[in-house]
Amino acid sequence: MNIRRVKCSFIILFFLLTAAGSCKVQRTTAVNTQTSLVTQGPLWGAVWQQKASEYKALCYQAYNTARMQLDVLLQQSYSKPLALVTDIDETILDNSPYQVHIALQHEEYADASWMEWTKKVDCDTVPGALSFFGYAKSRGVDVFYITNRLETERDATLKDIQRWGFPDAVNSHLTFKTTTSGKEPRRQIVADTHEIIMLFGDNLSDFSAVFDKQPADIRNAATRDNAALFGTKFIVLPNAMYGDWEGMLYQYKHTLPPATKDSIIIGGLKKY
């Protein structure tokens, strides 16, 4: 009788320990699989950019629209030479491999890791970009590249756009970020000598200073006020990986810890 009791006790103890061990593993797994929106979110955006045909379709749609609008604009007369002003990253060059790399490292954007990527001179092109800008140049329109890459990236950037054969890929048509990320002063330099008939970008600040570092309500109002310009003078390319739309969510305080940014972002979302 006592032997049976001992056996039963061992059996019960075995199942209790097994269950406890299982619970411990499950809890540990749950903690380890928690991810940050600001470090892992861009990875999902990169998956969409690299794999979704819908992404490619939106890019072709943007550049097809631009080509039709260009043909209309070329029927008008102008007092100065014509120019197109374009951003580079996610507008003509695809940097999604960088977003994948830092996401897998559970890191956010940093100048050092970004420049490590651009030095590779390994960007793909955004669908439709090369064909459109080649066509514009064939119609006598100059192309100017205004980027917020740093001046130290000039050589690598030139090599990247030159190796694909983008037109006007020369130093005099390429300007970098200096003291501010705002592009209006650089756009004005182009406007001094050329008639800017269209602008291209993935970020609203690529088009007008009214969008620069503004909160959501002002960005939305400015977008409504300029609705007629989208598809006519402003050509927007899709970018779900990064941009002012993200910085705006936490008031452009990029040095906040990821957990704080996550809380702010989640707190501002509609949910039920």
CB hemisphere CA count around 248 (13 angstroms): 17
- Residue 166 CA to residue 147 CA, distance in Å, equals 15
Q: Contact, 100 vs 43, CB < 8 A? A: yes
Nearest to 129, CA basis, from 86, 159, 73, 160: 86
Q: Contact, 202 vs 236, CB < 8 A? A: yes
User: Residue 270: what pLDDT?
Assistant: 96
Q: Hey, what domains does the chain have and what are their CATH numbers? A: 36-267 (3.40.50.1000)
Residues in the chain: 272
Cα dist. 182→185, 190, 212, 233, 266 in Å? 8, 15, 6, 19, 28
User: Residue 35: what pLDDT?
Assistant: 79
Q: What is the DSSP string of the chain?
A: -HHHHHHHHHHHHHHHHHHHHHHHHHHHHHHHT---HHHHHHHHHHHHHHH-HHHHHHHHHHHHHHHHHHHHHTTS--SS-EEEEE--BTTTEE-HHHHHHHHHTT----HHHHHHHHTT--PEEPTTHHHHHHHHHHTT-EEEEEEEEEGGGHHHHHHHHHHHT-TT-SGGGEEEE-S-S--HHHHHHHHHHSEEEEEEESSGGGT-GGGTT--HHHHHHHHHHTGGGBTTTEEEPP-SS-SHHHHGGGTT-TTS-HHHHHHHHHHTS---
User: Residue 34: what pLDDT?
Assistant: 58
Q: How many beta carbons lie within 10 A of that of residue 183, not counting itself?
A: 24
β-strand pairing of 93-94 with 124-125 = antiparallel
Each residue's pLDDT tens digit in the chain (272 positions)? 444 443 444 433 443 334 444 444 443 333 334 579 999 999 999 999 999 999 999 999 999 999 999 999 999 999 999 999 999 999 999 999 999 999 999 999 999 999 999 999 999 999 999 999 999 999 999 999 999 999 999 999 999 999 999 999 999 999 999 888 999 999 999 999 999 999 999 999 999 999 999 999 999 999 999 999 999 999 999 999 999 999 999 999 999 999 999 999 999 999 99
Question: Which strands sit side by side in the sheet containing 234-236, from one edge to the other?
Answer: 174-177, 142-150, 82-86, 195-201, 234-236
